[in-house]
Structure 1
Amino acid sequence: MAVLFALSLVAGAVTPLQGRVNSALSSAVADPILAALMSFSSGLAAMVLVTLLVPSGRRAASEVLPALRRGQVRWWYYSAGFIGACLVFTQSLTIPVIGVAVFTVAMVTGQVVGGMGVDRLGLTPAGVQRIGPRRLVGAALALAAVLVVVWPQLGEALGGAANTGGAGTDAGAAEGAGLLWLLMAAIPVVAGFGTSVQQVFNGRQSAAYGSPIPVTLINFLAGTALLGLIYLGKAVVAGASGPLPAVWWMYMGGPLGCVFIGVSALLVPRIGAFLTTLGLVAGQLLGSLLLDTVAPVDGAAVSAWTVVGTLGALAAVVLASWSGGVKRVPRA
């Protein structure tokens, strides 16, 4: 169990670095859709190489069609990559309105609630799991940890939302702007819940193929196809974006995403979606702490809020995974 949670922490820790890389690429091309497409494309290229070069990857890939024929895998499981692509759109759509802090809290809320829900319904290969007191406390502690980390920025975002409209606007316009802000804040909650569905689809495929390698490949194939169609439509209407940057590390967001998706697909069949989510969230906070310590940007500095929140998230993982924290219910 300790090894599995260590993997979840590592996978979560690469997420802030991926975000930093993708953000740099988006700024360089001045087009978030193209940046997302290039990120997915680089991840797809990496997974093609891994699948071809790793013997276990080739063996697992040969099980994709047989598993589909046997009914172990349903065709709609392949849509998991679309969910990842939609998450990228959610970021570009909502963050300019609600800010990173509100987005993070809303996203994690959806992930935690969704993870508990799919585990309780027994939708993952890990089986049906009761929501015991330790899980509830662990979930609350994880959410509190995220709130602590983003609290300074969260206050500014909520204050800005309350003052939306400002002087010189009528009550109707201010109310409309407030409703728009609430809608934008609700979208990441739905997206977070959607990642739990993505974990279910990926976990079932991983269990059927015996490896997360083909699962990750299919995710990036589906996501690249969807983003490619969207960018093509945008290019027809508004024209193509400028030349791509020649800086190699700006294209590493996709391979980093491979680590996140692959480890998630590996863990969900073994420990369930909820505990996987807690480990990934704790890893994200830990990765952010390390990144801001080693390579801060824009004057960012590590605060006591960040340290306390990260420790709280790690405590949530330990508490929720403690003996007795996970009670599996035999399938009927």
Structure 2
Amino acid sequence: MFAIVIGVAIGIGLPIQTSINSRLRRSVGTPFLASLISFTIGTLFLAATTLAIDHQLFFNPHLFRTQPAWLWIGGVFGVLYLTANILMFPKLGSVQTVILPVFGQILMGLLIDNFGWFAAKTSPLTLVRLVGALLVVVGVVVTVAVSSWLLERRTYEATDKPAGRTTGLWFWRVLGVGVGMLSAAQSAINGHLGKVLASSLNAAFISFFVGTLALILLNLVLHPRLQLSRPEGKPNPWWMWLGGIIGALFVLGNVYLVPIVGTGLTVVIVLVGLMTGSLLIDHFGWLGSQRNPITPVQLVGLVIMIAGVALIHLA
């Protein structure tokens, strides 16, 4: 039960981090620079916490020789997931950008558990677990897609709108599923890294540190213009610098959960928290977002997701 509470809590934090980083992006002018700032702050937070508790940051170099190469690339997968979502959003819109990676995360989580990839705890794919995973997917579709469709129908039902162009979108859709799978793989990799280092904190720091290095290289290649503006002439809020800390706690929570409950269950528990957090932000208009009250359809979708998590947990 404690693991479920942690998973839901860090899942709720994820959309809060996204909202904070979106505000940071408006001030610095580029999503890649905003991501670098967020990762750097998260890395510094984890470095200070790790030093305070574990009294060391890094590890014996002999691990590079004795451990598989994939153990060190979890942070890179996190950067690829983040960057792909930035690129997919204008191509696919918000609904598909949410749903396609979720499908990839659940699919990869079940595969990792079933085959024990990345030295993960093995949990065979039973019919009950499969039905639970399908319920989670259905819940996401109901919460995001159906709600969005009903809103668009109410808004445009009197307007004859031509069908949108879909040519060339399948590349982005496949990419969405693919980066979702990378996200689940990141959770499994970081979970095993925590076991190898005997420290969830140290593993989270290493993952964030690698991700920060990858973002430094990406920003050096893209060479974005450095700026710090005040959108709409208003002062920048202090909380726009906290996204990296929330992201660090998210990675730390995943490192802790995966060895205990497995990758598949971790993914779906966090997903329920993510959807809950997104609905709360929309409902109350937190962090400067537009207020959109929760609808009965969204509540139904959330209940379906919770039922799916319960099935997977009981399997």
**TM, length-normalised to structure 2:** 0.88
Contact 1:105–1:147, Cα closer than 8 Å, also in 2 = yes
Contact 1:25–1:35, Cα closer than 8 Å, also in 2 = yes
Matches within 5 A, 1:270-281: 270-281=260-271
**Inter-partner Cα distance in structure 1 for 2:78 and 2:30:** 18
Identical residues among aligned pairs (%): 26
C-alpha distance after superposition, 1:148-195 (max 9, x if no partner) = 1112325769x9x98235xxxxxxxxxxxx232221122110001111
C-alpha distance after superposition, 1:124-156 (max 9, x if no partner) = 555322111210111000000100111232576
Aligned partner of residue 130 in structure 1, secondary structure: coil
The residue type paired with residue 82 of structure 1 is V
Question: Is 1:283 equivalent to 2:267 in the alignment?
Answer: no
Which residue of structure 2 lines up, in the alignment, with residue 22 of structure 1? Answer: 21
Matches within 5 A, 1:253-332: 253-295=243-285, 297-322=289-314, 325=315
Relative to structure 1, the CA distance from residue 203 to residue 122 in structure 2 (aligned partners, 3 Å threshold; closer, same or farther) is: same
Task: Give the one of 165, 169, 183 matched to 2:171.
Answer: 183
Which residue of structure 2 lines up, in the alignment, with residue 175 of structure 1? Answer: none
Which residue of structure 2 lines up, in the alignment, with residue 101 of structure 1? Answer: 95
Structure 1 stretches of 4+ moved >4 Å: 61-64, 66-69, 154-157
**Inter-partner Cα distance in structure 1 for 2:116 and 2:229:** 45
Contact 1:44–1:217, Cα closer than 8 Å, also in 2 = yes
Contact 2:21–2:35, Cα closer than 8 Å, also in 1 = yes
**Inter-partner Cα distance in structure 1 for 2:219 and 2:281:** 31
Which residue of structure 1 lines up, in the alignment, with residue 123 of structure 2? Answer: 129
Contact 1:90–1:188, Cα closer than 8 Å, also in 2 = yes
**Inter-partner Cα distance in structure 2 for 1:6 and 1:263:** 11
Which residue of structure 2 lines up, in the alignment, with residue 202 of structure 1? Answer: 190
Contact 1:116–1:131, Cα closer than 8 Å, also in 2 = yes
Which residue of structure 2 lines up, in the alignment, with residue 242 of structure 1? Answer: 227
The residue type paired with residue 239 of structure 2 is W
**Inter-partner Cα distance in structure 2 for 1:64 and 1:7:** 30
Q: What is the number of equivalent residue pairs in this alignment?
A: 301
Contact 2:115–2:124, Cα closer than 8 Å, also in 1 = no
**Inter-partner Cα distance in structure 2 for 1:293 and 1:211:** 37
**Inter-partner Cα distance in structure 1 for 2:169 and 2:149:** 14
Contact 1:14–1:256, Cα closer than 8 Å, also in 2 = yes
**TM, length-normalised to structure 1:** 0.84
- The Cα shift of 1:63 comes to 4.8
**Inter-partner Cα distance in structure 1 for 2:142 and 2:164:** 24
Which residue of structure 2 lines up, in the alignment, with residue 12 of structure 1? Answer: 11
Which consecutive unaligned segments of at least 5 residues does structure 1 have? Answer: 166-177, 326-332
Contact 1:124–1:268, Cα closer than 8 Å, also in 2 = no
Question: Is 1:226 equivalent to 2:214 in the alignment?
Answer: yes
| Range with bigger deviation, 9-18 or 247-256 | 247-256
Relative to structure 1, the CA distance from residue 232 to residue 266 in structure 2 (aligned partners, 3 Å threshold; closer, same or farther) is: same
Relative to structure 1, the CA distance from residue 223 to residue 162 in structure 2 (aligned partners, 3 Å threshold; closer, same or farther) is: farther
- The Cα shift of 1:3 comes to 0.9
- The Cα shift of 1:34 comes to 0.7
Which residue of structure 1 lines up, in the alignment, with residue 233 of structure 2? Answer: none
Which residue of structure 2 lines up, in the alignment, with residue 328 of structure 1? Answer: none
Relative to structure 1, the CA distance from residue 100 to residue 211 in structure 2 (aligned partners, 3 Å threshold; closer, same or farther) is: same
**Inter-partner Cα distance in structure 1 for 2:69 and 2:229:** 35
- The Cα shift of 1:249 comes to 1.0
The residue type paired with residue 123 of structure 1 is W
Contact 1:124–1:269, Cα closer than 8 Å, also in 2 = no
**Inter-partner Cα distance in structure 1 for 2:76 and 2:90:** 22
- The Cα shift of 1:84 comes to 0.6
Aligned partner of residue 298 in structure 1, secondary structure: coil
**Inter-partner Cα distance in structure 2 for 1:162 and 1:312:** 33
Aligned partner of residue 292 in structure 2, secondary structure: coil
**Inter-partner Cα distance in structure 2 for 1:50 and 1:248:** 21
Task: Give the one of 128, 131, 152 matched to 2:147.
Answer: 152
- The Cα shift of 1:113 comes to 0.3
Aligned partner of residue 128 in structure 1, secondary structure: coil
C-alpha distance after superposition, 1:22-72 (max 9, x if no partner) = 111112222111111111111111111111112xx336x465545445x2x
